[in-house]
Amino acid sequence: MRRKMAAGNWKMNGTEASLAEVDALIAAHPAPACEVLLAPPATLIAAMAARARGTKLAVGGQDCHCAASGAHTGDIAAGMLADAGASHVILGHSERRADYGETDAQVCAKATAARVAGLVSLICVGETEAQRDAGETLAIIGGQLGGSVPEGADGSNTVVAYEPVWAIGTGRTPTLAQIAEVHDFLRAELSARFGAEGAAIRLLYGGSVKPVNAAEIFATLNVDGALVGGASLKAADFGAIITALEAG
C-alpha cells in the first residue's frame, strides 16, 4: 500500500514568525495517519526542522542544484538541504520551469543529486492552459515524466506531483474526470517503465487544493495525496486537508 502524503509548498512566503503555524499544526496533528511534509523557503528550513524534530512532520526544500558544491552563487546543493534538516525536495515545479527555463534534463539531474544526498524528490509535471486546450495534455506530461524522472526511481526516493499550471493560484480546479485521466496515465507510464517499483511511486495532485474540495479529490483513484500551495501556510487550512486525506 502506498502511504498517503500531504505536502505543503510555502513558496516565497514565511518569516520566523510564521513558524507558530508549524507549532499549531504539530499540536493539532501529533500522529497523522498520512505522511505530512512542509517545504518552507530556504531561510526557514533549519528552524522548521528543529521544531519538527521528534514529531511526525517532515521538512523539505523547494529546489536544489545538480552539483554537490561549487561556484554557483545563490544556489543550494542537495547535501546542504539535508544538512539543514530536510528529508525531501520539490523539483521541476511549474514556476521553476516557467521563471527559470528549467528543462526536463535539468530536473532529472537535480533528482539524481537529491538521491545521492539521501533526499526524496517530489518531481512536478503539468500542462499549461494552451497545451490543454490544444489537446496536448498527456503528450506534454508524458514527455516531462520521461525526461524528469531518473533511472532507479522507486517509491522510497521519488514522488510525482501533477500540477495543472492553469489551476495553480487561479482558483480553477480540473474536473475529477480530468484529474483521474492524468493520474491513471501517470500510473500506467511509471508502471510500464519501472514495473512494481513504478507502481509504488506516490502520485500527488497539486492545483488549488483547498479544504472544501480535498475530500472528493482524494477519493479519486491513483490520487495518493496533495501538493498544496497557499492553503499550507495556515495550520487550520492545511490541517483540514490532512484530515480529509486521513479519511479518504
| pLDDT tens digits along 163-206 | 999 987 777 779 999 999 999 999 999 999 999 999 999 999 99
Please compute, for residue 150, the number of CA atoms within 13 A of its CA located in the half-sphere on the CB side. Answer: 21
For residue 230, the 8-state DSSP code is G
54 pLDDT tier (thresholds 50, 70, 90): very high
Predicted local confidence at residue 231, as pLDDT: 94
Q: Which of 65, 163, 183, 189 is catalytic?
A: 163
Specify whether 127 is catalytic: no
| pLDDT reading at 134 higher than 80 | yes
Confidence at residue 4, expressed as pLDDT on a 0 to 100 scale: 98
28: its cell numbers: 493539532
Q: Residue 68's domain spans which residues?
A: 5-247
Cell numbers 516557467 label which residue?
Answer: 98
Which CATH number characterizes residue 119's domain? 3.20.20.70
Domain count, the chain: 1
Catalytic hit among 93, 95, 102, 189: 93
Compute the half-sphere exposure of residue 2: CA atoms within 13 Å on the CB side of its CA. 26
Whether the per-residue pLDDT at 130 is higher than 80: the answer is yes
Give the pLDDT of residue 1.
Answer: 82
Q: Which three cell numbers stand for residue 118?
A: 539521501
pLDDT tens per residue, range 135-161: 999 999 999 999 999 999 999 999 999
Q: What's the chain's length in residues?
A: 248
Per-residue pLDDT, averaged over 63-90, amounts to 98
Whole-number pLDDT of residue 208: 83
pLDDT band at 52 (very low <50, low <70, confident <90, very high): very high
Is residue 48 within 8 Å of residue 38, measured between CB atoms?
A: yes
The DSSP 8-state label assigned to residue 4 in this structure reads P
Show the cell assigned to 94.
511549474
163 included as an active-site residue: yes
Name the DSSP letter for residue 166.
G
E strands present in 88-231: 88-91, 120-125, 158-162, 202-205, 225-228
Mean pLDDT of 113-138: 96
CA R_g for the chain: 17
List the alpha helices (DSSP H) in 117-210. Answer: 129-133, 137-148, 176-194, 196-199
pLDDT score for 248: 75
| Residue for grid cell 514556476 | 95
